[in-house]
Amino acid sequence: MLVIQLFLILDLDFNIKAAYNDSMLYKITIENFFSVADCQELVFEVPANAPDLACFRAPRSDDGIRLPVVVGFFGPNASGKSTILRAVVSAAVFASHSFSWADEVNLFFQPYRREDWWGKPTKVTIEFDCQLSDNDSSAIFRYELHIAHKAANFSDKVVAYEALSYAPQGRFRTLFKRKNQEIHFGHEFGISNTNDPRKESIRPNASVISTLAKLNHPLSIYLSGIIGTLQTNIVGVTKVQQNATQWLSIYAQNKDCLARLNKELRRLDIGLESMVVEQSDQGLFAKLYHVGLDDFIFLAEESSGTQRFIEIFPRLHYVLETGSIAIIDEIDTDLHPLLLPELFRWFGDPERNPRGAQLFFTAHNPGLLEDLEKEQVFLTEKPSGQATRVYGARDIQGLRREPNLMRKYLAGELGAVPRIG
């Protein structure tokens, strides 16, 4: 488990070719996954009649549509906000790493805990734009994953279905399709259906992509690298807790990231002039220099908000540089509400975000809704005794763009508010 966490959080090599992802999410469908029972479909394409705003960007694979560069999930505690993001992360990690952690599939996929769902598979489908190789044009890809459970033993899980297809000219072509252990490869995937021995190495509890990447299949290595650029703070059922040594190592290794952090710290006018990372006998440590002080202070002496900003910054800087995706659970934890809109603006700035990076987050602070358009907002509800339901604010009948969404949310007009008493 630790290996996966470190890969997703700390593999921030800005020089690896696969890091230049230029990938955006189009659509997610989730069924029978933790608090989700019936199929929930989230479509991120912005309607054609929406205004031309900086927070919407045309993906490289189709300049005739627009996608939001920032998407927020709001709703009561335990309503399924994190579950939606966790489904995306779990499918991505399974595709890229399941060969190495097949015994831990149980931590990533569980059915809805009602008996009539126990024997049904968990289903996750993700549509995104990507390239088949560095020399190809971008196209829409679709990755589908069904994990089968055994009602008598939730720890015994296998792949019931797995498929990857792409649409270079508008129609989807199969790269591979798998039903249980019957696997068929499209000719563009480069694996023979009759005489390639690597096919026999694919286990029932591991991904085709992850397995073939380990067996030096070039396209699988490339796709695994693309998937691995995802940056997140949730893995499985847990939130990743990084210690200072982990994220200080990022700053120590990447001077550009540290220089950009210091520029932002000065611009945010919180009294911080700069941070310096040094090595001691006990490991890495940070010195923080403040305006008006005669000596530095240690990172542990800083406010929790400052520490949180320094921790989260490498992930955001990385995806903005590489055009990949950040998935951050509870982004508003410890951060000042005026700081978060500034982070959102980074993604809408074509100079700061030239490659179309996306940020997906959950939050409780309704004040953030003042800085989001209705196409950027999704809401989750889970009434007592029922499963999670997710819907877009734009799907609410009669919802106008003005006044702002915060007032409407607090008034209960959008739903997805706690019911107390």
Task: At 283, give phi and psi (nearest 5°).
Answer: 120, -165
Instruction: Give the model's pLDDT for residue 18.
Output: 42
Burial bucket for residue 39 (CB in 10 Å: 0-12, 13-18, 19+): exposed
Cβ-based neighbours of 153, under 8 Å, separated by 6 or more: none
The b-or-e profile of 312-341 (16+ CB within 10 A means b, else e) is: bbbbbbbbbbbbbbbbbbbbbbebeeeebe
CA dihedral 388, 86, 66, 365 (to 10 degrees): 70
For 347-408, the DSSP string reads HH-TTT-TT--EEEEE---GGGGGG--GGGEEEEE--TTS--EEEEGGGSTT--S-S-HHHH
Tell me the C-alpha distance between 10 and 102, whole Å: 22
Mapped onto helix, strand or coil, the DSSP state of residue 83 is helix
What value does the CA radius of gyration of the chain take, rounded to a whole number of Å? 22
Tell me the C-alpha distance between 237 and 150, whole Å: 20
Instruction: Give the model's pLDDT for residue 2.
Output: 36
CA dist list (Å): 189 to 165, 203, 214: 10, 19, 15
Tell me the C-alpha distance between 55 and 353, whole Å: 11
Low-confidence ranges of the chain (pLDDT < 70): 1-21, 102-103, 151-152, 154, 237-243, 269-270, 403, 419-421
Instruction: Give the model's pLDDT for residue 169.
Output: 84
Tell me the C-alpha distance between 331 and 85, whole Å: 12
Give the length of the chain.
421
Judge whether 139 and 129 are in contact, CB under 8 Å: yes
Structure tokens at 291: 């305006």
pLDDT tens readout for residues 44-85:
999 999 999 999 999 999 889 999 999 999 999 999 999 999
Instruction: Give the model's pLDDT for residue 15.
Output: 42
pLDDT tens readout for residues 367-407:
999 999 999 999 999 988 899 999 999 999 888 887 678 88
- What kind and span of H or E run contains 57? strand 56-57
> pTM of this prediction?
0.93
Instruction: Give the model's pLDDT for residue 243.
Output: 65
Cβ-based neighbours of 346, under 8 Å, separated by 6 or more: 316, 320, 352, 353
